[in-house]
Structure 1
Amino acid sequence: MNISDKKTYNMTPFDIPLKVHSILINIDNVRERAEEMITAIQDVCWLNELNPIAKHSYEARAQRTIDKLVNDILKKVEDDVTEEFGEFMISASAQDALVEAFDHVKVPLAELLKEKISGNPGFDFHTETSESLIAFGEAKYSGSKNPYRNALEQIKEFIDLKKHNAEVVDLQHFVTPDAVHNQIQGRSAYIAAFSVNSKKANNIISNAFDSDYLKNLKDQEELYLIGVTVND
């Protein structure tokens, strides 16, 4: 995985308070990326930072999901990318890119924190920004399209349903008190991460930036657009 481009857009001419950043990621070897994800997912050192009750609970939740992700999804990857693996790959890659490009701190993937092993109706991944905002991420994968619309629409739907607020009860264990305080005060960030199926990846980011789907989020504080190209 490598970052090929990152930008911060100036929204002042549009009279919109939303701050928008973009990252483009290239993945050249799917199997190698799957192996990296297996190593990362199996590293549960984050459990050691929890209080005894939280550790006891999250250890039980995480182990079931780790077994499913590793044995049923990641170890079965050859060259073809399924939608299920694709979304996990985009989530993990977006987190890694945000750490590298914008000094975010990763939160364990949402699937490891929740009761349901797959298909959770909530945000796919989270980070904490350098300004102590919880960033809520939605990942969308397609082998033929550029599903930024799906990611942006899903974010808007989840905000309307207040799912970002509902998740704080879990996230409080993995982010700073300042981030929790900011979230309660209505300050947070959002991440739309999606596959890019185009030789002109920058054009896809521009299309997302200019879309009505992004403008529907103009009242938020900060948004990241992350495009992931799979070259394998």
Structure 2
Amino acid sequence: MKIVDHEILDEFSPAKVQFIRIDPEDISKTLLEILSVLMNLSWLNNFDQEFQRKAFTSRANKTINDIKEKFDKCVNDDISKDAGEYVVSELARETMISKLKYLDVPLAELLGKKRSGNPGFDFHTQNVITDTVIFGEAKYISAITAYGSALKQIVNFIDSGKDIEDLPELRDFCTTSALKRASDGKKGFLAAFSAKDTSTDKIIENITKKMEFLSLLKYEELILVAVNL
């Protein structure tokens, strides 16, 4: 993958707002790279107890097999909705780690959260400088740029307390102080979405007019990640 745009939107201070655009380039290669990352279960070492490691290994392997099956159905760069959302989630998560040096937290589904019924956020990370937990949501829509769906889902999850409900699962990956700050309302959010041919300037212009975007500025950090798919 390649990062093609990265803009800091200082006009929305004190919230730290930034926009990142990713080009996966070779889709077939990207799918293989994502599977390789997901199959690396070194994060299991975060757990002190052997029974925890065994339990999370079983959960993760089931999820990886399910993702692989979805990826196997993608032929000639034709990405299905289920596969597309994994691609958007994982490329956004990896960008946070490699580009911004945020904490590496496994995809929520690898930790055993069933995705059907939208029980919570798709992925998480932490800004290690500000001790801020970031809650990420990914959307893929084949026909349009999907920022509207991602932002709306984030707001809905906040309203129903899904962010707070996610905190116990992050205990072994995020710092205690960051988790406490999140429970006190000091947190950030990441909207990751598939993007079509619309220019970056136009996407930013459209997003920053949306009610959902404006409502999220009361939080410490907001990251927008567009993935060209």
What TM-score, normalized to structure 2? 0.92
Q: Is the 8 A contact 1:73 1:85 kept in 2?
A: yes
Opposite residue 29 of structure 1, the aligned amino acid is D
> Which of 71, 75, 84 is the matching residue for 2:72?
75
Q: For residues 143-192 of structure 1, what are the alpha-carbon distances to aligned partners after superposition, in whole Å with 9 as ceiling and x for unaligned? A: 11011111111101101111111011111111122222222222111000
Cα 1:143/1:154, change in 2 over 3 Å: same
CA shift, 1:17, in A, is: 3.6
- Give 1:115 shift: 4.4
1:51 corresponds to 2:48: yes
Structure 1 residues 214 and 117: alpha-carbon distance in aligned structure 2, compared to 1, 3 A threshold? closer
Percent identity, please: 33
AA aligned to 2:197 is S
Any unmatched runs of 5+ in structure 2? none
Q: CA deviation at 1:64?
A: 1.2
Map residues 180-195 of structure 1 onto 2, 5 A cutoff: 180-195=179-194
1:201 Cα offset (Å): 2.9
Matches within 5 A, 1:151-170: 151-170=150-169
Tell me what 1:114 maps to. 112
C-alpha change, 1:203 and 1:41, in structure 2 (3 Å) is same
* Cα pair distance change 1:115/1:28, threshold 3 Å: closer
Matched AA of 2:8: T
Question: Given the alignment of the two structures, is residue 132 of structure 1 paired with residue 109 of structure 2, yes or no?
Answer: no
For residue 117 of structure 1, report the CA deviation from its aligned partner: 6.2
SS at match of 1:215: helix
Offset at residue 20 of structure 1 (A): 0.9
Given that 1:111 and 1:118 are in contact with CA atoms closer than 8 Å, whether structure 2 keeps it comes out as no
Equivalent residues, number: 226
How far did 1:119 drift?
5.0
Counterparts of 1:102 and 1:129, CA distance in 2: 8
Equivalent-residue separation in structure 1 for 2:124 and 2:35 (angstroms): 18
How far 1:49 sits from its partner (Å)?
Answer: 2.1
Question: How far apart in 2 are the matches of 1:23 and 1:204?
Answer: 11
Partner residue, 2:21: 24
Amino acid at match of 2:37: A
Counterpart CA distance in 2 for 1:220 and 1:22 is 16
Task: Give the conservation status (yes or no) of the 8 Å contact 1:195–1:227.
Answer: yes
Q: In structure 1, what is the equivalent of residue 9 of structure 2?
A: 9
Distance 1:101 1:50 in 2: 26
Looking at structure 2, the residues matched to 34 and 183 of structure 1 have their Cα atoms a distance apart, in angstroms, of 32
Against the structure 1 CA distance between its residues 115 and 214, is the aligned structure 2 distance closer, same or farther, given a 3 Å change threshold? closer
CA contact (8 A) 1:140 1:150 kept: yes
CA distance in 2, matches of 1:140, 1:117: 13
- Residues 77-124 of structure 1, C-alpha deviation per residue, up to 9 Å, x if partnerless? 221011111100000000111223222122100111124265542101
